[in-house]
Structures are given as C-alpha cells and as structure tokens.
Amino acid sequence: MSEPTEVRARRLGGYPRRVTFPVVGMVGGGQLARMTHEAGIPLGLKFKLLSDTPQDSAAQVVSDVVVGDYRDLDTLVEFARGCDVITFDHEHVPIEHLRALEADGVAVRPGPDALVHAQDKGVMRARLTEIGVPCPRHRIVADPADVTAFAEETGGFPVILKTVRGGYDGKGVWLVRAEQDAEAPFKAGVPVLAEEKVDFRRELAANIVRSPHGQAVAYPVVESQQVDGVCDTVIAPAPDLDAELAGQAQELALRIAKELGVVGHLAVELFETADGRILVNELAMRPHNSGHWTQDGAITSQFANHVRAVLDLPLGDPRPRAPWTVMCNVLGGDYPDMYAAYLHCMARDPQLKIHMYGKDVKPGRKVGHVNTYGDDLADALERARHAAGYLRGTISE
C-alpha cells in the first residue's frame, strides 16, 4: 500500500470522483474466494482474483480474474501489484514467496509468519506446545519403528499419522493400528507427525477474526460432525456445551491468533475429550467450512469479517441472529441433475438457504452447502440434512 487511501482521496479533486475503496487480491479461485467476493460486493470493494483456471468456482463470478499459477513468484508479484492487500482461499502458497512479497512492500494477510503454522503441522504443534496450548501428544517420527516407539510412549496403537504439509479433508491423515501399516505416510518424502488418537466426545470449532490493529471478534463455538474425514454438519452454537468450556475455547482461539500474529479469520478445530477438556486438532487461517453457518446465522458473516480484517476495517458483530443455525455440506453424488433436486428443495422449504459453488459434480466433492436456522434445533437439523441428502441424491423424497 504505497499510498494510504486517505492521502489518495485528498489528492483527487472534482466531481464525479471515484470512491477510493481498496482492491483486495485473493489467491485461489475456490468456493471460499467465491463467497468472499459475494461478501465484498456490499462493502463496495474491488476484488481481484488469482485463479488456476477461468472455470474455478470464484472465477465464474468475479469480474477481475488473473489466471495463473500461485506457485510462481513472478505471477504473484505481478498479481499483487494491482492490489492494496492480498489474502488467500487456501494455504498452499509457498512461504518463501510470501516472504518475498512482504519484502517487496506487499500487505500479505495473514502474513507468512502466521501462515506457516497453518501450512506445516509440525511447526504448528511445536509452537502451540511452546505457548501452552493443549494439544494431543505428538512428535515427528522418523520411520515405522519410530511410530511403534511413539505408540509405546503414549499408551499403544492406534496412532494418527499426518504428513506435516499438503493434507486437507482427511487426505494426508492415516489411522495406524500396527507398525506394518505405517509405511504409506513416509512415501511422500514429507516429515511425518505422529499424534495420539484422542478419545473425544465430539469435535468443536472456535472461529475468530483478528485485524492488524489487534481488534478481534469471536463467533459462538460450534459442533462439527465429520463423515469419512469430511465435514458433514455444523451446529451453531454447539449444543449443551458447558459455558466455561465454550469461553475457554474462544479465549484459546483469540490467544493463538495473537501469539501467532494471525490477521483475518482463524478456525481452531478442537476435540472435546470424554473427560471434559479441549485439545487443538487443526488450524485454518482463512474462512472455514465450520464458519459457513455465519452467512445466514450471524449478524456479520465470516467472509465479511475476513475482508474487513485484512483491510484493517473495524470488525462486524459476530453474534448469532437465531437461537440455532445448522449447516450441512452438499456433496456430489450419483444423482447428476442437481438443478431439479434444487427446485424440489426450494419448494419443500421456503426458508432454506442454499449456497452452490458452481463446481462440477464429482462423487464426494463439496459442491455447496445449505443453512437452516430457527428456534428448534431438531427442526433445523432435519431440514438441513434433508436438503443436503436430497441434493446429493441419497434421499429420494
């Protein structure tokens, strides 16, 4: 940001004059960028996208799209030149490129010093442990024999193995029951992190948003239900969650954001253990699936607050608008004609909020989500699950 907005505004004279709103550059053209653009339209921002292809989910709906490879520094430098700030749809931009952009004067938010903790699970675990954040027991393991040693240190198999980089939605994660099953993770040539298998009651997520000047807002802690390692249902707020534990989770997320220097949205995925503790599972430094409910369920959505944060604008109210909001992901199924299903869902439930990503249908792929809200959790759950199942084709009425 070579010239501050205010200075630029003063320099301009005469009518008509363009309102000097900033340009937000987003790297990655997935559904998170699509929904961030949607949230940015009422904010009057100019939105610029770096997308792998012109068909990507966000590229379909954004006016100013650069098609290019985010792994190429020259592409990033050129892209950043037209932006007041750059932010991300995913965590895959090489950290050394982000450092080069920062050295070049680009506002990178979240910055590389924060993002490295979302990219590398080994770095994340080391840092969280250092600042006293409760995590599952863990250490980097060298080979299958070392996995057995880790298992013996922590109460035996099964053990969770994760490549420290490149995993998402259950990819890059293995549940290992014996030494002979522990070969695969080491084949990627990436360090492998072993973690105890936590005896958890359920999974929670604490979503917060933090701005460069240190303002932060915390959304209600949600329950996140996974099916086959993929998020299926999110309930906001998490039902029957002890108020003190909820407060602890929010404080933990705020503390992590501050200690790691996160700017923008931070999702802290948590285990609630059978004995009433919370342990950090994963971090994401961008709008997150566990926050999609905020589009229809909170005063300010995670997408709007992410954009406000990366621009250092005052943050919006994160409080819920309804007693209960439920989000269910819509996965691609064997049922190809999603538009006809969509019609049925709208007719059945005029209050249903559908969010489609414009993505090609592949079985198991996230192609959209639905939100429902209301005073009655059972009703909201039934409606969201029905719509998601009907769109996928697993429910025929």
Binding mask 240-279 for its own copies (x = CB under 8 A): ----------------------------------------
Instruction: Name the helix (H) or strand (E) containing 243.
Output: helix 243-260
Q: Regarding beta strands 23-27 and 85-88, do their DSSP bridges make them parallel or antiparallel, or are they unpaired?
A: parallel
> Contact, 66 vs 48, CB < 8 A?
yes
Nearest approach in angstroms of CB 358 to its own copies is 6
Is 258 assigned a ligand-binding role in the annotation? no
Is 282 assigned a ligand-binding role in the annotation? yes
Is 196 assigned a ligand-binding role in the annotation? yes
Q: Which of 357, 366, 389, 392 binds its own copies (CB under 8 A)?
A: 357
Q: Which of 121, 210, 265, 359 binds its own copies (CB under 8 A)?
A: 359
Sign of CA dihedral 168, 130, 272, 320: negative
Round to whole Å and give the CA distance between 333 and 123: 37
Nearest approach in angstroms of CB 40 to its own copies is 8
Round to whole Å and give the CA distance between 391 and 387: 6
Nearest approach in angstroms of CB 218 to its own copies is 13
- 342-364 exposure pattern, b = at least 16 Cβ within 10 A, e = fewer: beebeeebeebbbbbbebebeee
Q: Which of 300, 302, 325, 329 binds its own copies (CB under 8 A)?
A: 300
> Contact, 292 vs 39, CB < 8 A?
no
Is residue 306 a contact point for its own copies (CB under 8 A)? no
> Contact, 316 vs 304, CB < 8 A?
yes
**CA-based radius of gyration for the chain:** 21
Q: Which stretch binds its own copies (CB under 8 A): 98-106, 146-154, 165-173, 357-365?
A: 357-365
Is residue 30 a contact point for its own copies (CB under 8 A)? no
Other CB atoms closer than 10 Å to residue 248's CB: what's the count? 17
Name the residue among 302, 225, 266 with its Cα closest to residue 35. 302
> Contact, 344 vs 390, CB < 8 A?
yes
Size of the site for its own copies (CB under 8 A): 66
Instruction: Name the helix (H) or strand (E) containing 382.
Output: helix 377-392
Is residue 1 a contact point for its own copies (CB under 8 A)? no
Binding mask 309-348 for its own copies (x = CB under 8 A): ----xxxxx---x----------x---xxxxx-xx--xx-
- Footprint on residues 86-115 left by its own copies (CB under 8 A): none
Is residue 71 a contact point for its own copies (CB under 8 A)? no
Q: Which of 146, 358, 382, 395 binds its own copies (CB under 8 A)?
A: 358
Other CB atoms closer than 10 Å to residue 172's CB: what's the count? 18
Binding mask 38-67 for its own copies (x = CB under 8 A): x--xxxx-xx-----------xxxxx-x--
Round to whole Å and give the CA distance between 355 and 25: 23
Is residue 392 a contact point for its own copies (CB under 8 A)? no
Residues near its own copies, by CB under 8 A: 5-6, 9-10, 12-13, 15-22, 34-35, 37-38, 41-44, 46-47, 59-63, 65, 295, 299-300, 308, 313-317, 321, 332, 336-340, 342-343, 346-347, 350-351, 353-363, 365, 367-368
Residue positions forming the annotated binding site for ATP: 121, 162, 195-198, 203, 281-282
